[in-house]
Structure 1
Amino acid sequence: MLSALILLPIVIAALIGFWPGSVTGKVARQVALVVTGAVFIWSLVLLFQFNPGNESLQFQESWLWIDAIGFSYSLGVDGLSIPLLILNGLLTVMALYSTDENIERPRFYYALVLLLNAGVAGAFLAQDLLLFFLFYEIELIPLYLLIAIWGGQRRGYAATKFLLYTALSGILILAAFLGLVFISGTSSFAYSEARTMASLLPLGRQLLLLVAIIIGFGIKIPLVPFHTWLPDAHVEASTPISMLLAGVLLKLGTYGLLRFGVELFPEAWTFLAPGLAIWAVVSVLYGSLTAISQRDMKKMVAFSSVGHMGYILLAAAAATPLSLVASVLQMVSHGLISALLFFLVGIIYKKTGSRDLDTLNGLFNRERGLPLIGSLMVVGVMASAGIPGMVGFISEFLIFRGSFPVFPVQTLLCMIGTGLTAVYLLILLDRAFFGRLSAKVLNLPSVNWAERTPGIILAILIVILGVQPGWLVHLSETTTAAMFIGN
């Protein structure tokens, strides 16, 4: 059941890319949409069959792959991974639907997006350390090419920077995984066995391995000072790829922290937790303050991601039952909100030819502006700023509520970041949408309903999950409660 989520996109990507006859861009697009839609629907089928009250892995698949090194093909899903699996399927469909129908080299593009979807799904499902690393590295290649080929003017620089940072991340993670297996003397890379052996290691060795894991995934999240690849990648990437990068790819880092940090090394995690909470504060405040100074709308939203991902580190550092389930909620919340914001910025750039806040003005103009896009932007801004009724509010509130008993000062400082979020996003709204329509962007092309659809769907989901966050909490609370370090 789980292998289908990985193998179907890979097989269809190969067919699209290497089909001997001519395949038009329209056909490639339709096939890719059908396949990703089927994968998303299949993930929903798994969701309806998933038992939230069971903390153990479900729908498991496992067989030994390479006996000599104890490498197994082992998949499973629990309350930590299934929300992210569904998010991956949803946002891939949204990204493909948002792609320009006249994109150059369409067969290659759609094949890469399918491979990216399969790699991310495989990483969320993998229950073997080497298998996780394999999928973690597989997603690197398509994303690099998607930025390097279809990106902006400085796409080569941005893609290379992304590649170098992510390669370093992978090296550190692989070193930690290999170190855990060799030091513990186990003959298998199975996650369940590694979890048992990790708890038996002396604290000093646990700390050494955990630091490598934290830095490795900290680069992917990204946390300050490992964040510098992210703004460049976002600015140069096309709109659909920015949606996937912020909405899904960054979650591999936060997922890895919980799965391979909190869960594998609870004793060492507790030892490092105060420092991690301080690191979270630095990332939140730096990301928020830097976003305020930006004039490029896309770069502003990119730096906001740095700040919002810091909240997840704070929740993981506190590692209380409430903060851990809130961290999963924040991953889904940030995925939806950031995808919406990048989608809307992409529409604005497509219609006006600019993302410069010093150039744009008055886009709320009913007759000659982009009023519906402005309305959706208000929803995204309100959600990101933590306004009640939106999913961003409840995820951040639960993080603060769960983290405050453990780290009161750090939590209060992170709460300042919520206020700063409102500041820079209100600056974006005020400069781009209010006032008189700028003479530089008159006679804007209209936004048809097909172009609006992804934004409307994402906005509706943000409101629905804001009103009914219990659905996500119920889905993950049993799994995250079992991770609670106090157990």
Structure 2
Amino acid sequence: MLSALIWLPVIGALVIALLPKSLSNKGSAIVTSAILILDFLLLRQFDIGSSAFQLSENLPWLENLGLNYSLGVDGLSLPLVVLNGLITWLVICFCEKQITERKQLFDVLILLIHAGVSGAILSTNTLLFVLFYEIELIPLYLVIAAWGGTQRSYAAMKFLIFTAISGILILVGFLALGWLSANPTPVFDYETLRNLSLPIEIQVTLLVVLLLGFTIKAPFVPFHTWLPDAYVESTTPTVMMLGGIVAKLGTYGLFRFCVGLFPDAWALLSPWVAVWAGLGILYGAMVAIAQKDIKRMVAYSSIGHMSYILLAAAAATPLSMVGGIIQMVSHGLVLALLFYLVGVIEEKVGTRDLDVLNGLLNPIRGLPTTSALLILGGMASAGIPGLVGFISEFLIFQGTFSKFPIPTIFSIIGTGLTAVYFVILLNRTCFGKLDNHTAYYPKVSGLEQLPALILTALIVVLGVQPSWLVRWSETSATQIIARVPDSSLLANENSKYSTYEKISLAFRRDPR
């Protein structure tokens, strides 16, 4: 089944490329619908009580290099696989109107992006992870460069450079880890590397390399500069894929490899990471407040909300880790909804400028349904109870406050600032008086509203009944952090030293 989730979109892309243009849309819809059905079947077969990789597939490939075709799914990867299938289905089946030229080629590239993301998430061999991690880069670059806005070439090249650097750092970190496995042949199997015992100075060095690689992909401040350009210049379906699921490869790698492979080093660096996350949340919120372009505002809000996941990883408690995994899903749903609605507003009104937009909630001449959904999306992003964004942030705050109270307080302030910039956005776009001479906006059809309605339904249902989402990840989250020492215990052991001094001492002695 796991191979089918990877190779069905690849084979489907090849078939669609050969179909007549008149049949390509139906072919794309069939392929993505089949993928989504497989995702639901995967949910039925998954055992939520097991923390081990399930439905594993292991085939020898380039054994002399340590590269094997090894797949598996657990509570960390499962929600992201399903999210990937859902967003791809929405993009291909319901965003046809946003892609007016070369839709057949666009669908092919989106399916290849989907395959690369699924392959990376399901890989249990680190080299195979890097291979799939890089595969999605080229088609994503092409969809930005070919279908983007006026500055698309600049945005696509900037994205390519940053993501290539991210991939190189991750590859270097994994190669070094495999070569240090003390075997005649390098070992890149995740479970083997997880049980590898290395000196703390090597752990810290490799952790820093991988941490930089994954934070560029996510991205976190200050490696975020590619994100606003790429998000703003991308078409609506492209940015739904990019923000909704592709960027989650960075946070997935953070949980899976940084926390999972280097528990001792992570405990030493986690206070610094927590401060980094808290500052990133505040930065993203404050910069979003200053924006006049609603699409750029949503892009900067994404930077802040991704930093909640970094804070959750820093604390490495069962509650924070579950909250971090749920935040990946809730962020993907909310961001896809907001970008889709922004795309509808731009198409119908012709502008994204906050100084021009007003009165869209007008029931006769405005965009009342779109505006109502935008209000709900803003509430979900701000963590209003009853919506999916609340439970993820609440779990993160509960799991991090006891270990890192100051960064957690920064995060709570960031949640308040989220409400501020969404109130600004909603007040200027949805309320006010329409110009009687110019404001006769085209109606949004039911088919155009359907993707937003589906995403909204999920945001509400999972917010009202969060256990339907939380239960998939609890066991795996606990297993990932099982070997992470409590940083507070390390602090008590060397209470007379600062965090920096303790890291320096760790290079001379192993705290274990």
Q: TM-score range by the shorter chain?
A: over 0.9
Report the alpha carbon displacement of residue 15 of structure 1 after superposing the two structures with TM: 2.0
Which consecutive residues of structure 2, in runs of 5 or more, have no partner in the other structure?
A: 487-512
CA contact (8 A) 1:116 1:139 kept: yes
**For the residues of structure 2 that align with 1:387 and 1:341, how far apart are their CA atoms?**
16
What does residue 109 of structure 1 align with?
106
Per the alignment, in what secondary structure is the counterpart of residue 65 of structure 1? strand
**For the residues of structure 2 that align with 1:106 and 1:15, how far apart are their CA atoms?**
15
Structure 1's 217 and 439: CA in aligned 2 closer, same or farther, altered over 3 A? farther
**For the residues of structure 2 that align with 1:144 and 1:49, how far apart are their CA atoms?**
35
What does residue 232 of structure 2 align with?
235
Of residues 77, 80, 85, the one that matches 2:76 is 80
Structure 1's 190 and 350: CA in aligned 2 closer, same or farther, altered over 3 A? same
| Letter matched to residue 69 of structure 1 | L
Q: Which runs of 4+ in 1 moved over 6 A?
A: none
Q: Which aligned pairs between 1:339-354 and structure 2 lie closer than 5 A?
A: 339-354=336-351
Report the alpha carbon displacement of residue 106 of structure 1 after superposing the two structures with TM: 2.0
Deviations 1:409-458 (A, max 9, x none): 11011110000000001100000110101468511110000000000010
Of residues 27, 41, 48, the one that matches 1:45 is 41
Of residues 143, 147, 150, the one that matches 1:146 is 143
Of residues 27, 32, 35, the one that matches 2:28 is 32
Deviations 1:98-139 (A, max 9, x none): 323462112211100000111100011000011000000001
**For the residues of structure 2 that align with 1:364 and 1:344, how far apart are their CA atoms?**
13
Per the alignment, in what secondary structure is the counterpart of residue 70 of structure 2? strand
Aligned alpha-carbon RMSD (Å): 1.2
Deviations 1:128-161 (A, max 9, x none): 0110000000011111000000000000000000
CA contact (8 A) 1:170 1:216 kept: yes
| Letter matched to residue 11 of structure 1 | I
Per the alignment, in what secondary structure is the counterpart of residue 361 of structure 2? coil
**For the residues of structure 1 that align with 2:395 and 2:286, how far apart are their CA atoms?**
23
CA contact (8 A) 2:96 2:103 kept: no
CA contact (8 A) 2:28 2:93 kept: no
Report the alpha carbon displacement of residue 28 of structure 1 after superposing the two structures with TM: 1.4
**For the residues of structure 1 that align with 2:437 and 2:149, how far apart are their CA atoms?**
22
Report the alpha carbon displacement of residue 192 of structure 1 after superposing the two structures with TM: 1.2
Deviations 1:364-397 (A, max 9, x none): 1110000000110111011001110001011101
Report the alpha carbon displacement of residue 213 of structure 1 after superposing the two structures with TM: 0.6
CA contact (8 A) 1:360 1:438 kept: no
Deviations 1:172-212 (A, max 9, x none): 00000001011232322111111122xx1100000110001
Q: Which aligned pairs between 1:396-435 and structure 2 lie closer than 5 A?
A: 396-435=393-432
Per the alignment, in what secondary structure is the counterpart of residue 100 of structure 2? coil
User: Are 2:440 and 1:443 equivalent residues in the alignment?
Assistant: yes
What does residue 13 of structure 2 align with?
13
Which consecutive residues of structure 1, in runs of 5 or more, have no partner in the other structure?
A: none
Report the alpha carbon displacement of residue 95 of structure 1 after superposing the two structures with TM: 1.2
Q: Which aligned pairs between 1:214-225 and structure 2 lie closer than 5 A?
A: 214-225=211-222
What does residue 282 of structure 1 align with?
279
**For the residues of structure 1 that align with 2:435 and 2:233, how far apart are their CA atoms?**
25
Structure 1's 183 and 407: CA in aligned 2 closer, same or farther, altered over 3 A? same
**For the residues of structure 2 that align with 1:152 and 1:54, how far apart are their CA atoms?**
46
Of residues 85, 89, 93, the one that matches 2:85 is 89
| Letter matched to residue 401 of structure 2 | F
**For the residues of structure 1 that align with 2:437 and 2:95, how far apart are their CA atoms?**
26
CA contact (8 A) 1:23 1:107 kept: no
What does residue 4 of structure 2 align with?
4
- Report the TM-score when normalising by structure 1: 0.97
| Letter matched to residue 195 of structure 1 | R
Deviations 1:205-246 (A, max 9, x none): 001100011110000111001001001001100001111111
What does residue 452 of structure 2 align with?
455
